[in-house]
């Protein structure tokens, strides 16, 4: 039986999900399930992940998917992704992401993405994370793809949790998707 999360992904392509995790085993189980379900649904999966964690994910995927299915996974080193300009800079990250997804968009190929957001400390200016998550939320709605943003729960200060709940319409909680009551929908900048 499919979980609520995967039924939601089938019904609605533009799904931006926050996942706060607190254990590596559970984290790997969720990312592997997300990838497997995506591939079975016919999506390519853009996995923005730590290069130390990726081999653990890959070893689980090898048990579940055949060689052709594994080619649907596009690994992106998350440190290269988030710090491509030398620091956490939302415009540079956005450009990097656009370069990754543009071939999928141009060729009308369905994709989904999992982004593991991490850094060595939470000393980064948190308003940059808020700015970036707003940009990402708009991209999810513009390009119609599911995205899960994974953050390590015990490293997140309360202020960051508030920001993330306001910028993600959905939350992955105990293996299922719930609606974020704190979510602040994007204000359209288009003229009517």
Query: What domains are there in the chain, each with its CATH number?
Result: 11-179 (3.40.50.300)
Average pLDDT over residues 82-87: 77
Three-class secondary structure of residue 132 per DSSP: helix
Q: What's the pLDDT tens digit per position in 151-183?
A: 999 888 888 899 999 999 999 987 788 999 999
By residue count, the chain amounts to: 192
Average pLDDT of the residues of the chain: 88
CA 111 to chain centre: 12
Q: 175, 54, 48: which is closest to 113 by C-alpha?
A: 48
* pLDDT exceeds cutoff 90 at 100: yes
Asked if 45 contacts 148 with a C-beta cutoff of 8 angstroms, the reply is no
Q: What is the pLDDT of residue 155?
A: 85
Asked if 40 contacts 172 with a C-beta cutoff of 8 angstroms, the reply is no
Q: What is the pLDDT of residue 162?
A: 93
Environment class of residue 126 by beta-carbon count within 10 Å: exposed (0-12), middle (13-18) or buried (19+)?
A: middle
Return d(Cα 139, Cα 61) in angstroms, integer.
28
CA 167 to chain centre: 13
Banded model confidence at residue 69, pLDDT cuts 50, 70, 90? very high
Q: What is the pLDDT of residue 91?
A: 84
């Amino acid at each position: 039986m499919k979980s609520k999360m995967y039924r939601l992904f089938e019904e609605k392509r533009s799904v931006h999900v926050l996942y706060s995790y607190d254990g590596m085993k559970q984290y790997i189980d969720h990312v592997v399930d997300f990838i497997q379900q995506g591939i079975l649904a016919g999506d390519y999966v853009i996995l923005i992940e730590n290069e130390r964690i990726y081999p653990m994910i890959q070893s689980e995927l090898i048990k579940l998917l055949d060689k052709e299915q594994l080619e649907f996974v596009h690994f992106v080193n998350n440190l290269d992704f988030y710090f491509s300009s030398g620091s956490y800079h939302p415009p540079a990250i956005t450009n990097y992401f656009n370069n990754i997804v543009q071939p999928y968009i141009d060729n009308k190929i369905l994709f989904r993405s999992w982004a593991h957001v991490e850094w060595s400390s939470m000393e980064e200016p948190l308003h940059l994370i808020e700015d970036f998550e707003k940009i990402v939320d708009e991209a999810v709605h513009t390009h119609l793809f599911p995205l899960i943003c994974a953050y390590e729960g015990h490293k997140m200060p309360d202020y960051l949790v508030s920001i993330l709940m306001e910028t993600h319409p959905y939350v992955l909680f105990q293996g299922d998707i719930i609606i974020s009551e704190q979510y602040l929908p994007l204000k359209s900048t288009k003229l009517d």
